[in-house]
Amino acid sequence: MAWFSFTGTNQNDPSHYTLAPTQPSCPGTTSLCAIQATNNGSDRPVLSDPLKAEIQQALQNGQPTANVKMKD
């Protein structure tokens, strides 16, 4: 599993994430910062249905989960 910083606007689009060398630090407001996912071989995350649901849950609750980091 690798960390990917959310760098776009669509959390369900792998091209809106950038591979991070370590778990990113995310100052700012409460919103999506990064996810932990399998690398698809092209330095993009594999966005499985369970991970998409986890991202949605984190966004709705404003709380991080095991694989979703929110901005600090």
Model pLDDT for residues 25-38, shown as the tens digit of each residue: 888 766 999 999 99
**pLDDT of amino acid 41:** 96
Residue with structure tokens 């991080």? 64
> Other CB atoms closer than 10 Å to residue 19's CB: what's the count?
13
Spell out, as residue ranges, where the chain has pLDDT lower than 50. Answer: none
Q: Residue 21's Cα: distance from chain center in Å?
A: 14
What pLDDT was estimated at residue 28?
Answer: 74
Question: Could you tell me which of 30, 47, 27, 31 has the C-alpha nearest to residue 39?
Answer: 47
Copy the structure tokens of residue 71: 């901005």
From CA 27, how far away is CA 71, in angstroms rounded? 6
Token readout for 23 is 């778990």
